[in-house]
Amino acid sequence: MELNLLFEHLSLGFGVAFGLQNLFWCLMGAIIGTAIGVLPGVGPVATMALLLPVTYYLPPEGALIMLAGIYYGAQYGGSTTAILVNLPGESSSVVTCLDGYQMARQGRAGTALAIAAIGSFFAGCVATMLIAIAAPPLIALAQKFGPADYCSLMVLGLVTAVVMAHGSILKAIGMIFLGLLLGIVGTDVNTGNLRYSFGIGILFDGINFVPIAMGVFGINEIMANLTNPERRDLVSSKISSLMPSRADLKAASPAILRGTIIGSLLGVLPGGGGVLASFASYTIEKKLAKDPSRFGKGAIEGVAGPESANNAAAQTSFIPMLTLGIPSNAVMAMMVGGMMIHGIIPGPQVMTDKPGLFWGMIASMWIGNAMLIIFNLPMVGMWVKMLMVPYRLLSIAILFFCCIGVYSLNNSAEEVLLITFFGFVGYVFVKLDCEPAPMLLGFILGPMMETYLRRAMLLSRGDSMVFLERPLSLGFLIAAAVLLVIIVLPSIRKARETAFVE
């Protein structure tokens, strides 16, 4: 029965995803994702922000399929740079540098690339199935949520995002509050009152998501990268055989399996995603190894585990966004932005209202993974050539795309000025060690949270105890409190700090 339903859903999804147009957007997403994954200094968040205006011209299915492809494509591409250049193309590939680059120096670059791609593919397939299986029951649960439950769930989500953020917890909380505050700028939907618009026309409808995301991530990344230039040293050795030997496969497969499990679990957590998963997987592989001293000297498990984990996590991090409508990290905030551009409000109703879109996107992930393994392995040489494009040229191209993209959204030159402003603000944040990602989450959740807060208070006739009286809401709040306490405890804090030290 359940299995039948799953089959029905997936066939609906594949029907949509195999449509010629959607296949094309999936391919585009995968290619763009790989490209920016390969290039250090260009991340998926900035790229998705860059392409949000373009997705306005696409059908919603195509738009979301492409945006999703960029994210998991970047996980593939990031490993290529890590292995061949010893630079993480993406932050989630930081640990892949450790053993991957060593393997490349020993002449085993082909094997390392192949294992990374195979591991990613396996993890991607498992995670896609996991989303398909986990989504319907979670959505059924989410439909029972009242406004108070939602409000508390968002608190839990934001707290978890804080725990996962790099650096100071307090500053991350501050950034979330700032994001929430920015989110409510403009006309208050409930009363029609204007808030914090200072008589500036473009602020009456609230700050648009695209300029803020592009300013804080796109423009700011360019500023930051130009201020600390990096050197790129390619491994000069030829990539010999791409086929891993039987012994390699045997050594790598348990690591791939463990990485997939760890990544899938950590990806679902709010604030989770590729970076944390790959670190966790590397640590575990090293602990489990008979001879831990091999790690850092070209251990194949050190590539297989983290690469599988980051791809699995990249995909399962869609689960909270798809089922509850709550973005768990900055990339998912972009996906929410992409949905909102097409007038789709993320939440449990998406699966029932737009089943084609929902299952089509999930199915496209499997197709995208298959495409990625094809053009990551045989075509790896082409991607590496891309590293020859110097950042000084890339940066001005990106700058241009940011500006024209924002302009095209509403044909509004003022919004281009807004990205300039947020670019400066973002640079100050980085200088002060305040991570902008939690701010973006707060920005997305701000209006939603206020609406649920108001509804909850209205339903409870003004009794704020409602948040503690409803069991679900209470559960979420307790979980949030426990998390906060745990993070403040010194021992765990120490472990967390070491995990984030590169």
Interacting residue ranges for another protein, rule: CB under 8 A: 54, 57, 168, 170-171, 173-174, 177-178, 180-181, 184, 188, 190-191, 193, 195-196, 198, 219, 222-223, 226-227, 229, 391-393, 395-397, 399-400, 402-404, 407-408, 411, 413-414, 416-417, 419-420, 423-424, 427-428, 431-434, 449-450, 453-454, 457-458, 461-464
Residue type, 117: A
Residue for token pair 């494009």:
389
The H or E element containing residue 303 is helix 301-316
The CB-side HSE value for 22 (13 A sphere, CA atoms) comes to 25
Which is closer to another protein, CB of 280 or CB of 416?
416
Give the DSSP letter string of 234-249.
---S-----SPPHHHH
The secondary structure of residue 344, as a DSSP letter, is P
Smaller CB distance to another protein: residue 186 or 244?
A: 186
| C-beta closer to another protein: residue 411 or 491 | 411
Least Å from the CB of residue 432 to another protein: 4
Residue with tokens 């084609």, as numbered in its chain: 356
The answer to whether the beta carbons of residues 248 and 113 sit under 8 Å apart is no
Q: How far is the CB of 276 from another protein (least distance, A)?
A: 23
Cα dihedral 438→439→440→442 (10° resolution): 90
Question: Closest approach of Cβ 440 to another protein, in Å?
Answer: 16
User: How far from chain centre, in Å, is Cα 303?
Assistant: 21
Torsion of CA 290, 292, 294, 298, to 10 degrees: 110
Query: How far is Cα 348 from Cα 227, in angstroms, rounded to an integer?
Result: 43
Minimum Å distance from CB 391 to another protein?
A: 8
Min CB(458)–another protein separation in Å: 6
**Which residues are CB-contacts of 193 (< 8 A; sequence separation ≥ 6)?**
187
Q: How far is the CB of 215 from another protein (least distance, A)?
A: 9
Q: Report the SS3 class of residue 259.
A: helix
- Residue number with CB closer to another protein (285 or 435): 435
Q: Give whichever of 356 and 450 is closer to another protein, judged by the CB atom.
A: 450
Residue 313 Cβ vs another protein, minimum distance, rounded to whole Å:
29
Taking the complex as a whole, how short is the minimal distance between the CB of residue 414 and another protein, in angstroms? Answer: 7
The nearest distance, CB 376 to another protein, in angstroms, is 26
Shortest reach from residue 454's CB to another protein, in Å: 5
500 closest CA partner among 322, 346, 283: 283
Query: How far does Cα 60 stand from its chain's mean position?
Result: 19
Nearer to another protein, 105 or 342 (CB): 342
Q: Which is nearer to another protein, 373 or 386 (CB)?
A: 386
**φ, ψ of residue 186 in degrees (nearest 5):** 110, -160
Q: How far is the CB of 31 from another protein (least distance, A)?
A: 16
Contact 115, 303 (CB under 8 A): yes
CB 216 within 8 A of CB 429: yes
Residue placing its CB nearer to another protein in the complex, 8 or 433: 433
Helix (H) or strand (E) holding 194: strand 194-195
Angle at 150 between CA 145 and CA 155, to 5 degrees: 145
**Closer to another protein at the Cβ: 266 or 409?**
409
With a CB cutoff of 8 Å and minimum separation 6, the contacts of 477 are 152, 155, 156, 467, 468
Comparison of 204 and 400: residue with beta carbon closer to another protein: 400
Q: Which is nearer to another protein, 250 or 494 (CB)?
A: 494
Maximum Cα–Cα distance across the chain: 71
Taking the CA atoms of 222, 225, 229 and 234 in sequence, report the sign of the dihedral they define: negative
Nearer to another protein, 7 or 196 (CB): 196
| Burial (Cβ within 10 Å: 0-12, 13-18, ≥19) of residue 121 | buried
Task: Tell me how far, at minimum, the Cβ of 153 lies from another protein, in Å.
Answer: 17
SS3 state of residue 57: coil
